[in-house]
């Protein structure tokens, strides 16, 4: 007796006698996928892909990072865009640069704020509630009319291009972006602690954080450190030389923050290197930086 005709479960008009070796449903040639034994249907193949655990690097990032370093590209684009805004609107640096505490009178004069108030004067900067400066200052650079001008931007973007791609590939996009922002804020916080009367701009704090991360990553992976040590010596020399026209406080703060964050990612016990624990650690660091800012503000303003 001839077997009754059967139809593909996805294409009822197609007669077939082949079954998926996983779910036992009938499948037509369009729905067949080669398997170790027989054929699987497209739905079983899709389900199998979802159940495969994605490989992770030692630091928690996806392996391999097949796509381009899009976060590095995006950060570079934001810095360049911010510089274009500076060219068009010269007051951008005064409005969004990292500034701790300065008194401004109606005539335009600025004076370092030392806990005293004067009628008619306004307190501006982080101490005046402008916390956004801790982040926005890291995307601005010295204005075109300064002695260093556009070279400030060019040097930082070259460094970010060379170091950022490596760090992003090891950490993954989310961790890399978090590291960049934390390093930027860490640099701004040290500026606020040491030189609250000085306007500081530049991605240098974040870039120095990337450099420290690059060092920790290579050391943790057991790579040849001679070339890495020469690279870091150049960065430290640049921090000293650039102190004449940029903020060494921002450089050092970013360097320390980036190194600390990456050290935690690299050397924490395996049970603590989960995404949830790393997110919690980042939140704790943000909280600590916020506490430092609040305490510094209280010391400047005399608030209880």
Tally of domains in the chain: 2
Question: For residue range 86-131, what is the model confidence (pLDDT) as tens digits?
Answer: 989 988 988 999 998 887 765 555 555 555 555 566 788 898 899 9
Same domain, yes or no: 223 and 92 = yes
Asked whether residue 48 is assigned to any structural domain, the reply reads yes
pLDDT band at residue 76, thresholds of 50, 70 and 90?
very high
Domain membership flag for residue 63: no
198/242 same-domain check: yes
- Residue 93, classed as helix, strand or coil, is helix
pLDDT tens-digit map of 12-50 = 888 888 888 888 888 888 888 888 777 888 888 888 766
- For residue 1, the model assigns a pLDDT of 43
Say if 207 falls within a structural domain.
yes
Query: Burial level of 302, CB count in 10 A (0-12/13-18/19+)?
Result: exposed
Neighbours of 119 (CB within 10 A): 5
Indicate if the pLDDT at residue 60 is higher than 70.
Answer: no
State the average pLDDT for the chain. Answer: 83
Specify if 61 maps to a domain. Answer: no
Q: Let me know whether 28 and 106 are in one domain.
A: no
User: Is the model more confident about 73 or about 15?
Assistant: 73
The answer to whether residues 187 and 104 belong to one domain is yes
**Res 20: pLDDT:** 86
251/116 Cα distance (integer angstroms): 30
| Domain that includes residue 8, residue range | 1-52
> Residue 304: its pLDDT value, please?
39
Residues 47 and 112 in one domain: no
pTM for the predicted model, two decimal places: 0.77
Residue 64 lies in a domain: no
Same domain, 118 and 253: yes
Residue 258 has pLDDT above 60, yes or no: yes
What CA–CA distance (Å, rounded) separates 63 from 80?
30
């Amino acid at each position: 007796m001839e077997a009754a005709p059967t139809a593909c479960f996805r294409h009822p008009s197609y007669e077939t006698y082949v079954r998926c070796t996983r779910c036992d449903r009938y499948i037509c040639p369009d729905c067949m996928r080669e398997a170790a034994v027989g054929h699987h249907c497209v739905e079983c193949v899709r389900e199998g892909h979802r159940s495969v655990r994605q490989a992770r690097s030692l630091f928690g990032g996806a392996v391999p990072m097949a796509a381009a370093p899009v976060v590095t590209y995006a950060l570079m684009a934001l810095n360049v865009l911010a510089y274009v805004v500076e060219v068009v609107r010269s007051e951008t640096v005064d409005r969004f640069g990292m500034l701790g505490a300065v008194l401004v009178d109606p005539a335009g004069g600025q004076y370092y704020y030392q806990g005293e108030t004067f009628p008619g004067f306004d307190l501006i900067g982080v101490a005046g509630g402008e916390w956004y400066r801790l982040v926005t200052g890291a995307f601005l650079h010295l204005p075109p009319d300064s002695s260093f001008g556009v070279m400030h931007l060019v040097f930082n973007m070259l460094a970010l291009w060379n170091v950022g791609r490596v760090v992003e590939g090891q950490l993954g996009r989310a961790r890399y972006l978090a590291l960049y922002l934390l390093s930027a804020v860490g640099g701004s916080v040290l500026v606020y602690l040491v030189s609250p009367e000085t306007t500081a701009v530049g991605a240098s704090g974040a870039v120095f954080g990337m450099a420290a991360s690059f060092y920790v990553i290579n050391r943790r992976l057991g790579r040849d450190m001679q070339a890495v040590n020469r690279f870091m010596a150049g960065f430290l020399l640049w921090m000293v030389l650039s102190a004449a026209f940029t903020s060494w406080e921002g450089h050092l703060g970013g360097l320390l923050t980036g190194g600390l964050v990456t050290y935690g990612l690299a050397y924490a016990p395996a049970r603590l290197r989960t995404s949830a624990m790393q997110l919690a650690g980042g939140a704790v660091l943000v909280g600590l930086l916020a506490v430092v800012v609040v305490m510094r503000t209280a010391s400047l303003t005399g608030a209880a």
